Amino acid sequence: MMPIFDIAIIGGGIMGCGTALRLAEGGMRAIILEQGDIGQGASGVNAGTLSMQIKRVKLMPYAIRGHEEWQHMGDAVGFHKTGGYTLAFNDREAELLHERMKMKKEAGANISFVSPKQLNEKEPHLAKKVIAVSYCPDDGYANSSLTGQYYRKKIDEKGINFIEAFKVTNIRSVSDGYEIASGDRAVVASRILIACGGWSKHITAMLGVDLPIRARINTVSVTERAPQLVSSVIGHATGLLTMKQKENGTILIGGGWQGKGRPEEGRGQVSVDSLVPNLQLAKFVLPALSNIRIVRSWTGFEANVPDFYPLAGALPNRDNAFILGCVRGGFTIGPYISKLMGDYILGKEPEMPLFDPGRKMEEGKLI
Protein backbone atom coordinates (compact mmCIF):
# COMPACT_ATOMS: atom_id res chain seq x y z
CA MET A 1 0.00 0.00 0.00
CA MET A 2 1.35 3.41 -0.94
CA PRO A 3 1.49 6.15 1.69
CA ILE A 4 -1.30 8.69 1.84
CA PHE A 5 -0.40 11.85 0.00
CA ASP A 6 -1.56 15.35 0.93
CA ILE A 7 -2.80 15.78 -2.60
CA ALA A 8 -3.11 13.79 -5.80
CA ILE A 9 -2.83 15.85 -8.96
CA ILE A 10 -4.42 14.32 -12.02
CA GLY A 11 -2.58 15.56 -15.08
CA GLY A 12 1.16 16.07 -15.49
CA GLY A 13 1.09 19.11 -17.76
CA ILE A 14 2.09 22.69 -17.02
CA MET A 15 -0.94 23.23 -14.74
CA GLY A 16 -0.45 20.09 -12.66
CA CYS A 17 3.34 20.25 -12.43
CA GLY A 18 3.32 24.01 -11.79
CA THR A 19 0.86 23.59 -8.93
CA ALA A 20 2.83 20.65 -7.51
CA LEU A 21 6.00 22.77 -7.43
CA ARG A 22 4.21 25.54 -5.55
CA LEU A 23 2.66 23.06 -3.12
CA ALA A 24 6.08 21.52 -2.47
CA GLU A 25 7.36 24.98 -1.50
CA GLY A 26 4.51 25.13 0.99
CA GLY A 27 5.46 21.71 2.41
CA MET A 28 2.61 19.72 0.91
CA ARG A 29 3.31 16.20 -0.32
CA ALA A 30 1.91 15.77 -3.80
CA ILE A 31 1.73 12.94 -6.26
CA ILE A 32 1.19 13.61 -9.96
CA LEU A 33 -0.76 11.00 -11.91
CA GLU A 34 -0.29 11.25 -15.65
CA GLN A 35 -2.04 9.06 -18.23
CA GLY A 36 0.81 9.39 -20.74
CA ASP A 37 4.16 11.11 -20.27
CA ILE A 38 4.83 14.28 -18.27
CA GLY A 39 4.15 17.37 -20.38
CA GLN A 40 3.12 15.49 -23.52
CA GLY A 41 -0.54 16.49 -23.68
CA ALA A 42 -1.62 19.99 -24.75
CA SER A 43 1.39 21.39 -22.83
CA GLY A 44 3.77 19.61 -25.17
CA VAL A 45 2.02 19.76 -28.52
CA ASN A 46 0.78 23.35 -28.76
CA ALA A 47 2.45 25.87 -31.07
CA GLY A 48 4.35 27.51 -28.19
CA THR A 49 3.28 31.04 -29.03
CA LEU A 50 3.81 33.54 -26.21
CA SER A 51 1.91 36.47 -27.67
CA MET A 52 0.16 39.24 -25.78
CA GLN A 53 -1.78 40.06 -28.93
CA ILE A 54 -3.79 36.85 -28.80
CA LYS A 55 -4.58 36.95 -25.09
CA ARG A 56 -8.02 37.80 -23.73
CA VAL A 57 -8.42 41.26 -22.26
CA LYS A 58 -9.50 40.09 -18.82
CA LEU A 59 -6.64 37.57 -18.66
CA MET A 60 -3.97 40.06 -19.73
CA PRO A 61 -2.55 40.63 -16.23
CA TYR A 62 -2.13 36.87 -15.85
CA ALA A 63 -0.57 36.58 -19.31
CA ILE A 64 1.96 39.32 -18.54
CA ARG A 65 3.07 37.47 -15.41
CA GLY A 66 3.02 34.12 -17.22
CA HIS A 67 5.27 35.61 -19.87
CA GLU A 68 7.71 36.65 -17.14
CA GLU A 69 7.74 33.07 -15.87
CA TRP A 70 8.66 31.75 -19.32
CA GLN A 71 11.37 34.35 -19.69
CA HIS A 72 12.73 33.18 -16.37
CA MET A 73 12.71 29.51 -17.50
CA GLY A 74 14.74 30.72 -20.49
CA ASP A 75 16.89 28.38 -22.56
CA ALA A 76 15.66 25.24 -20.81
CA VAL A 77 12.29 25.72 -22.53
CA GLY A 78 13.64 27.35 -25.70
CA PHE A 79 12.29 30.79 -24.76
CA HIS A 80 12.71 33.49 -27.43
CA LYS A 81 11.49 37.07 -27.30
CA THR A 82 11.26 38.00 -30.97
CA GLY A 83 8.53 40.61 -31.09
CA GLY A 84 5.32 39.83 -32.89
CA TYR A 85 3.22 41.30 -35.67
CA THR A 86 -0.48 40.80 -36.25
CA LEU A 87 -1.60 41.41 -39.81
CA ALA A 88 -4.82 42.57 -41.44
CA PHE A 89 -5.45 42.15 -45.16
CA ASN A 90 -8.83 43.83 -45.64
CA ASP A 91 -10.93 46.59 -44.09
CA ARG A 92 -12.96 44.26 -41.92
CA GLU A 93 -9.83 42.71 -40.45
CA ALA A 94 -8.20 46.13 -39.99
CA GLU A 95 -11.22 47.35 -38.06
CA LEU A 96 -11.22 44.22 -35.92
CA LEU A 97 -7.49 44.61 -35.28
CA HIS A 98 -7.80 48.25 -34.19
CA GLU A 99 -10.77 47.60 -31.94
CA ARG A 100 -9.19 44.59 -30.22
CA MET A 101 -5.62 45.77 -29.87
CA LYS A 102 -6.80 49.04 -28.35
CA MET A 103 -8.56 47.12 -25.58
CA LYS A 104 -5.59 44.82 -25.05
CA LYS A 105 -3.29 47.80 -24.81
CA GLU A 106 -5.56 49.36 -22.20
CA ALA A 107 -5.37 46.08 -20.30
CA GLY A 108 -1.59 46.49 -20.03
CA ALA A 109 -0.09 44.84 -23.10
CA ASN A 110 2.71 46.72 -24.83
CA ILE A 111 0.99 46.90 -28.22
CA SER A 112 1.36 49.59 -30.87
CA PHE A 113 0.46 50.03 -34.53
CA VAL A 114 3.16 50.17 -37.18
CA SER A 115 2.94 50.87 -40.89
CA PRO A 116 3.00 48.11 -43.53
CA LYS A 117 6.24 49.73 -44.71
CA GLN A 118 7.87 49.23 -41.31
CA LEU A 119 6.69 45.62 -41.33
CA ASN A 120 8.14 45.13 -44.77
CA GLU A 121 11.52 46.44 -43.65
CA LYS A 122 11.62 44.02 -40.72
CA GLU A 123 10.01 41.04 -42.48
CA PRO A 124 10.65 41.40 -46.22
CA HIS A 125 9.42 37.90 -47.06
CA LEU A 126 5.84 38.50 -45.92
CA ALA A 127 3.07 39.21 -48.42
CA LYS A 128 2.89 42.85 -49.45
CA LYS A 129 -0.90 42.96 -49.30
CA VAL A 130 -1.01 43.89 -45.62
CA ILE A 131 -3.08 47.00 -44.86
CA ALA A 132 -2.80 47.23 -41.06
CA VAL A 133 -0.27 45.87 -38.56
CA SER A 134 -0.03 45.79 -34.79
CA TYR A 135 3.21 45.07 -32.99
CA CYS A 136 4.21 43.88 -29.54
CA PRO A 137 7.94 43.76 -28.68
CA ASP A 138 7.32 41.29 -25.83
CA ASP A 139 5.88 38.57 -28.05
CA GLY A 140 7.86 35.44 -28.71
CA TYR A 141 7.67 31.73 -28.24
CA ALA A 142 8.91 28.79 -26.25
CA ASN A 143 9.56 25.27 -27.52
CA SER A 144 6.57 23.32 -26.24
CA SER A 145 8.36 20.04 -27.01
CA LEU A 146 10.68 20.80 -24.11
CA THR A 147 7.86 21.29 -21.57
CA GLY A 148 7.95 17.65 -20.51
CA GLN A 149 11.71 17.53 -20.14
CA TYR A 150 11.69 20.80 -18.16
CA TYR A 151 8.95 19.92 -15.71
CA ARG A 152 10.08 16.33 -15.23
CA LYS A 153 13.47 17.65 -14.16
CA LYS A 154 11.91 20.25 -11.84
CA ILE A 155 9.53 17.89 -10.06
CA ASP A 156 12.29 15.31 -9.80
CA GLU A 157 14.62 17.86 -8.18
CA LYS A 158 11.93 18.73 -5.64
CA GLY A 159 11.34 15.07 -4.87
CA ILE A 160 7.73 15.23 -6.01
CA ASN A 161 6.26 11.82 -6.77
CA PHE A 162 4.83 11.14 -10.17
CA ILE A 163 3.49 8.12 -12.00
CA GLU A 164 3.35 8.07 -15.80
CA ALA A 165 1.12 5.81 -17.88
CA PHE A 166 -1.42 6.06 -15.02
CA LYS A 167 -4.77 6.38 -16.75
CA VAL A 168 -7.35 7.06 -14.05
CA THR A 169 -10.21 4.58 -14.24
CA ASN A 170 -12.03 5.31 -11.00
CA ILE A 171 -12.12 7.78 -8.12
CA ARG A 172 -13.93 7.16 -4.87
CA SER A 173 -14.20 8.88 -1.51
CA VAL A 174 -12.51 7.09 1.36
CA SER A 175 -12.30 8.12 5.00
CA ASP A 176 -8.92 9.79 4.46
CA GLY A 177 -9.83 11.58 1.27
CA TYR A 178 -9.86 10.12 -2.21
CA GLU A 179 -8.72 6.86 -3.70
CA ILE A 180 -7.67 7.22 -7.33
CA ALA A 181 -7.39 3.99 -9.26
CA SER A 182 -5.86 3.01 -12.56
CA GLY A 183 -6.90 -0.56 -13.20
CA ASP A 184 -5.68 -2.49 -10.16
CA ARG A 185 -3.26 0.23 -9.00
CA ALA A 186 -4.53 2.85 -6.54
CA VAL A 187 -3.28 5.97 -4.79
CA VAL A 188 -4.87 7.57 -1.73
CA ALA A 189 -4.63 11.30 -1.05
CA SER A 190 -6.35 13.74 1.29
CA ARG A 191 -7.04 16.18 -1.51
CA ILE A 192 -7.41 16.02 -5.23
CA LEU A 193 -6.63 18.49 -8.01
CA ILE A 194 -7.94 17.89 -11.50
CA ALA A 195 -5.61 19.47 -14.02
CA CYS A 196 -5.90 17.30 -17.08
CA GLY A 197 -7.11 19.77 -19.70
CA GLY A 198 -9.47 18.24 -22.24
CA TRP A 199 -9.78 15.11 -20.12
CA SER A 200 -11.07 17.05 -17.06
CA LYS A 201 -14.76 16.63 -17.86
CA HIS A 202 -14.39 12.88 -17.84
CA ILE A 203 -12.44 12.93 -14.56
CA THR A 204 -14.74 15.39 -12.73
CA ALA A 205 -17.65 13.16 -13.75
CA MET A 206 -16.00 10.39 -11.71
CA LEU A 207 -16.51 12.66 -8.71
CA GLY A 208 -20.14 13.18 -9.65
CA VAL A 209 -19.54 16.75 -10.75
CA ASP A 210 -20.76 17.81 -14.17
CA LEU A 211 -18.97 20.83 -15.59
CA PRO A 212 -19.70 22.25 -19.07
CA ILE A 213 -16.17 21.51 -20.30
CA ARG A 214 -15.64 21.17 -24.03
CA ALA A 215 -12.52 20.61 -26.03
CA ARG A 216 -11.24 22.37 -29.09
CA ILE A 217 -8.96 20.29 -31.30
CA ASN A 218 -6.22 22.62 -32.48
CA THR A 219 -4.04 21.74 -35.43
CA VAL A 220 -0.33 22.56 -35.61
CA SER A 221 2.09 21.84 -38.46
CA VAL A 222 5.83 22.02 -38.83
CA THR A 223 7.96 22.33 -41.96
CA GLU A 224 11.37 20.95 -42.77
CA ARG A 225 14.34 23.24 -42.09
CA ALA A 226 14.21 26.27 -44.36
CA PRO A 227 16.39 29.33 -44.97
CA GLN A 228 15.64 32.29 -42.71
CA LEU A 229 12.26 33.70 -43.81
CA VAL A 230 10.73 35.30 -40.71
CA SER A 231 12.29 36.46 -37.46
CA SER A 232 9.19 37.57 -35.54
CA VAL A 233 6.08 35.75 -34.39
CA ILE A 234 3.40 36.39 -37.03
CA GLY A 235 -0.33 36.43 -36.33
CA HIS A 236 -3.50 37.20 -38.25
CA ALA A 237 -6.19 39.70 -37.21
CA THR A 238 -8.75 36.92 -36.94
CA GLY A 239 -6.44 34.85 -34.73
CA LEU A 240 -6.51 32.09 -37.34
CA LEU A 241 -2.78 31.98 -37.93
CA THR A 242 0.30 31.85 -35.79
CA MET A 243 3.64 31.38 -37.46
CA LYS A 244 7.22 31.44 -36.29
CA GLN A 245 10.52 30.16 -37.54
CA LYS A 246 12.69 28.47 -34.99
CA GLU A 247 16.47 28.72 -34.74
CA ASN A 248 16.85 25.37 -36.51
CA GLY A 249 14.97 26.75 -39.53
CA THR A 250 11.72 24.83 -39.12
CA ILE A 251 8.54 26.90 -39.36
CA LEU A 252 5.68 26.19 -36.98
CA ILE A 253 2.17 26.94 -38.25
CA GLY A 254 -0.86 27.07 -35.99
CA GLY A 255 -3.99 29.18 -35.59
CA GLY A 256 -6.54 26.94 -33.94
CA TRP A 257 -7.91 25.20 -37.03
CA GLN A 258 -10.03 22.29 -35.87
CA GLY A 259 -9.21 18.61 -36.17
CA LYS A 260 -11.44 15.73 -35.16
CA GLY A 261 -11.85 13.42 -32.21
CA ARG A 262 -12.64 13.47 -28.50
CA PRO A 263 -10.21 13.33 -25.58
CA GLU A 264 -11.68 10.01 -24.39
CA GLU A 265 -10.78 8.44 -27.74
CA GLY A 266 -7.12 9.35 -27.96
CA ARG A 267 -5.03 12.23 -29.17
CA GLY A 268 -7.35 13.57 -31.89
CA GLN A 269 -6.89 13.54 -35.65
CA VAL A 270 -5.89 16.03 -38.26
CA SER A 271 -8.69 16.87 -40.67
CA VAL A 272 -7.57 17.65 -44.19
CA ASP A 273 -10.52 20.01 -44.64
CA SER A 274 -9.18 22.38 -42.01
CA LEU A 275 -5.46 21.65 -42.42
CA VAL A 276 -5.41 22.73 -46.06
CA PRO A 277 -6.97 26.21 -45.53
CA ASN A 278 -4.70 26.66 -42.49
CA LEU A 279 -1.65 26.03 -44.69
CA GLN A 280 -3.09 28.08 -47.56
CA LEU A 281 -3.49 31.04 -45.23
CA ALA A 282 0.10 30.54 -44.05
CA LYS A 283 1.30 30.50 -47.65
CA PHE A 284 -0.76 33.60 -48.45
CA VAL A 285 1.01 35.42 -45.62
CA LEU A 286 4.45 33.94 -46.38
CA PRO A 287 4.51 33.06 -50.10
CA ALA A 288 7.94 31.36 -49.88
CA LEU A 289 6.25 28.55 -47.93
CA SER A 290 4.80 27.14 -51.15
CA ASN A 291 7.74 24.86 -51.88
CA ILE A 292 8.84 24.02 -48.37
CA ARG A 293 7.75 20.60 -47.23
CA ILE A 294 5.38 20.00 -44.34
CA VAL A 295 6.93 17.27 -42.23
CA ARG A 296 4.23 16.76 -39.65
CA SER A 297 0.78 17.99 -38.67
CA TRP A 298 -0.84 17.11 -35.37
CA THR A 299 -3.61 18.08 -32.98
CA GLY A 300 -3.88 18.96 -29.33
CA PHE A 301 -6.95 19.37 -27.13
CA GLU A 302 -7.65 22.80 -25.66
CA ALA A 303 -10.42 22.72 -23.08
CA ASN A 304 -12.83 25.56 -22.49
CA VAL A 305 -16.15 26.39 -20.85
CA PRO A 306 -18.96 28.49 -22.37
CA ASP A 307 -17.68 31.83 -21.04
CA PHE A 308 -14.09 31.01 -22.09
CA TYR A 309 -12.69 31.89 -18.67
CA PRO A 310 -10.60 29.52 -16.56
CA LEU A 311 -11.79 26.97 -14.07
CA ALA A 312 -9.48 27.63 -11.15
CA GLY A 313 -10.62 26.93 -7.63
CA ALA A 314 -12.60 24.51 -5.49
CA LEU A 315 -14.78 21.96 -7.24
CA PRO A 316 -18.47 22.62 -6.46
CA ASN A 317 -20.16 20.28 -3.96
CA ARG A 318 -17.02 18.34 -3.02
CA ASP A 319 -14.64 18.84 -0.13
CA ASN A 320 -10.92 19.03 -0.67
CA ALA A 321 -11.32 18.79 -4.43
CA PHE A 322 -9.99 21.38 -6.83
CA ILE A 323 -9.79 21.99 -10.54
CA LEU A 324 -7.43 24.03 -12.71
CA GLY A 325 -7.92 24.22 -16.43
CA CYS A 326 -9.77 25.70 -19.39
CA VAL A 327 -7.40 28.66 -19.39
CA ARG A 328 -7.50 30.31 -22.78
CA GLY A 329 -3.85 31.02 -23.52
CA GLY A 330 -3.00 28.32 -21.01
CA PHE A 331 0.53 27.74 -22.30
CA THR A 332 1.49 31.36 -21.59
CA ILE A 333 -0.53 31.72 -18.40
CA GLY A 334 -0.02 28.20 -17.00
CA PRO A 335 3.24 28.68 -15.09
CA TYR A 336 1.71 31.68 -13.31
CA ILE A 337 -1.87 30.62 -12.62
CA SER A 338 -0.60 27.28 -11.29
CA LYS A 339 1.31 29.20 -8.62
CA LEU A 340 -1.90 31.01 -7.67
CA MET A 341 -3.67 27.67 -7.52
CA GLY A 342 -0.94 26.25 -5.27
CA ASP A 343 -1.31 29.20 -2.91
CA TYR A 344 -5.07 28.76 -2.82
CA ILE A 345 -4.79 25.06 -1.93
CA LEU A 346 -2.22 25.95 0.74
CA GLY A 347 -4.87 28.26 2.26
CA LYS A 348 -3.10 31.46 1.28
CA GLU A 349 -4.65 34.44 -0.46
CA PRO A 350 -3.51 34.28 -4.12
CA GLU A 351 -1.86 37.39 -5.55
CA MET A 352 -4.60 37.67 -8.17
CA PRO A 353 -8.16 36.35 -8.06
CA LEU A 354 -8.94 32.84 -9.26
CA PHE A 355 -12.01 31.79 -11.24
CA ASP A 356 -14.74 29.97 -9.32
CA PRO A 357 -15.56 26.73 -11.14
CA GLY A 358 -19.07 26.85 -9.67
CA ARG A 359 -19.94 30.21 -11.24
CA LYS A 360 -22.83 30.67 -13.62
CA MET A 361 -21.47 30.64 -17.15
CA GLU A 362 -22.95 32.37 -20.14
CA GLU A 363 -21.93 31.60 -23.67
CA GLY A 364 -18.99 33.85 -24.56
CA LYS A 365 -19.38 35.97 -27.63
CA LEU A 366 -17.64 34.93 -30.82
CA ILE A 367 -17.35 37.98 -33.03
Q: How far apart are CA 31 and CA 202, in angstroms?
A: 20
Q: How far is the CB of 180 from another protein (least distance, A)?
A: 20
Name which of 165 and 352 has its Cβ closer to another protein.
Answer: 165
Name which of 276 and 352 has its Cβ closer to another protein.
Answer: 276
Name which of 214 and 267 has its Cβ closer to another protein.
Answer: 267
Q: How far apart are CA 194 and CA 204, in angstroms?
A: 7
> With the CA atoms of 118, 120, 121 and 122 taken in that order, what torsion angle do they form, in degrees rounded to the nearest 10?
90
Task: Give all strands of the β-sheet with 49-50 in edge-to-edge order.
Answer: 49-50, 140-141, 80-81
Name which of 151 and 322 has its Cβ closer to another protein.
Answer: 151
Q: How far is the CB of 146 from another protein (least distance, A)?
A: 7
Alpha-carbon separation of residue 361 from 11, 141, 217, 310, 358 (angstroms): 24, 31, 22, 11, 9
Q: How far is the CB of 278 from another protein (least distance, A)?
A: 10
Q: Chain centroid to CA 50: how far?
A: 10
Q: How far is the CB of 64 from another protein (least distance, A)?
A: 17
Name which of 245 and 322 has its Cβ closer to another protein.
Answer: 245
Q: How far apart are CA 232 and CA 227, in angstroms?
A: 14
**Which one, of 52, 53, 124, 51, lies nearest residue 88 by Cα?**
53
- Name the maximum alpha-carbon separation found in the chain: 67
Q: How far apart are CA 51 and CA 75, in angstroms?
A: 18
Alpha-carbon separation of residue 30 from 14, 33, 93, 189, 354 (angstroms): 15, 10, 47, 8, 21
Which residues make up the interface to another protein (CB under 8 A)? Answer: 36-40, 44, 54, 56-57, 89-90, 96, 100, 103, 129, 145-149, 152-153, 156, 164-165, 222, 224, 238-240, 248, 256, 258, 260, 267, 269-272, 275-277, 279-284, 289-298, 308, 328, 364-367
**Separation of first and last alpha carbons in the chain:** 53
Name which of 54 and 345 has its Cβ closer to another protein.
Answer: 54
Q: How far is the CB of 348 from another protein (least distance, A)?
A: 30
Q: How far apart are CA 238 and CA 301, in angstroms?
A: 20
Name which of 17 and 345 has its Cβ closer to another protein.
Answer: 17
Q: How far is the CB of 68 from another protein (least distance, A)?
A: 23
Kindly state the helix (H) or strand (E) to which residue 18 belongs, with its residue range: helix 14-25
Contact present, 210 and 316 (Cβ < 8 Å): no
Name which of 148 and 313 has its Cβ closer to another protein.
Answer: 148
Contact present, 70 and 50 (Cβ < 8 Å): yes
Q: How far is the CB of 147 from another protein (least distance, A)?
A: 8
Name which of 204 and 219 has its Cβ closer to another protein.
Answer: 219
Q: How far is the CB of 19 from another protein (least distance, A)?
A: 19
Kindly state the helix (H) or strand (E) to which residue 321 belongs, with its residue range: strand 321-325
Q: How far is the CB of 61 from another protein (least distance, A)?
A: 15
